[in-house]
Amino acid sequence: TLDPKNEIAPAVRNILARPEFAVLNAHVAGGPIMHHDYDEIAARETRNFMGLCLLIQMAILLWVGRGVRGVFVPISIVFLSVLWTMGAIGLMGFTLNMMIVILPPLLICVGIGDSMHFIAEYQDQCDKGLARRKAMLKTFAVVGLPCLLTTLTTMGAFLSFLTIRIRPFRELGVYASVGAVTALVLTYVLVPFFYSFGMKKNARITNPTNQKNHHDLFDRLLIRVHWIVTGKPGWVVAFFVILAGVSIAGALNVQVESNTAKMLSKKLPLRQAIDFIDERMGGSMSMEIMLDTGKTDGVKDPVFLKKMDVFQDFVNKHPLTTKTTSVLDVMKKMRRAMHNNNQEFYSVPGTREAASQYLFLYETSGGDQLDKLVGFDYDIARLTVKTRNLSTADVRKFMQDVEDFSRKTFDGSVSVEVTGALSWVKALNDKIGEGVKYSFIAVLFAVTAMMIIFLRSVKLGLISMIPNVFPVLITLGFMGFAGIYLDMPLMCCSAVIIGVAVDDTIHFFRRYRREFKGLGNYTQALQATLSTVGRPITFTTMTLILGFGVMTLSDISGWSNFGFLSGFAFLWALLADLFFAPAMMLLLKPLGPERRVKA
DSSP assignment string, 403-433:
HHHHHHHHTTSSEEEEESHHHHHHHHHHHHH
Q: Report CA-CA distances (Å) from 54 to 10, 41, 71, 80, 551.
A: 32, 20, 11, 12, 13
Q: Residue 325: enclosing H or E segment and its boundaries?
A: strand 321-325
- CB-based contacts of 232, cutoff 8 Å, min separation 6: none
Query: Model's pTM, two decimal places?
Result: 0.81
d(CA 69, CA 191): 9
241 falls in which pLDDT band (50, 70, 90)? Answer: very high
Q: Which contacts qualify for 364-369: CB closer than 8 Å, 24 or more apart?
A: 367/330, 369/330
The number of angstroms, rounded, from the C-alpha of 98 to the middle of its chain's C-alpha atoms is 10
Rounded to whole angstroms, how far apart are CA atoms 407 and 421?
22
% residues pLDDT > 70 (the chain) = 95
pLDDT class of 242 with cuts at 50, 70, 90: very high
Burial class of residue 500 in the structure, from the number of CB atoms within 10 Å of its CB (0-12 exposed, 13-18 middle, 19+ buried): buried
At residue 566, the pLDDT reads 92
Biggest CA pair distance of the chain: 111
List, for residues 297-330, the tens digit of each pLDDT value: 999 999 999 999 999 999 999 999 999 999 999 8
Query: How far apart, in whole angstroms, are the C-alpha atoms of residue 599 and residue 16?
Result: 83
β partners of residue 243 = none
The model's confidence at residue 173, banded by pLDDT at 50, 70 and 90, is confident
Residue 323 DSSP label: E
Higher-confidence residue: 47 or 568? 568
pLDDT at 207: 43
> Alpha-carbon distance 497 to 314, whole Å?
46
CB 489 within 8 A of CB 261: no
Q: What is the pLDDT of residues 199-229, one digit of tens each?
A: 555 444 444 444 444 466 777 888 899 999 9
C-alpha 573 chain-centroid distance: 18
Distance CA 182, CA 192 (A): 16
Average pLDDT score over the chain: 85
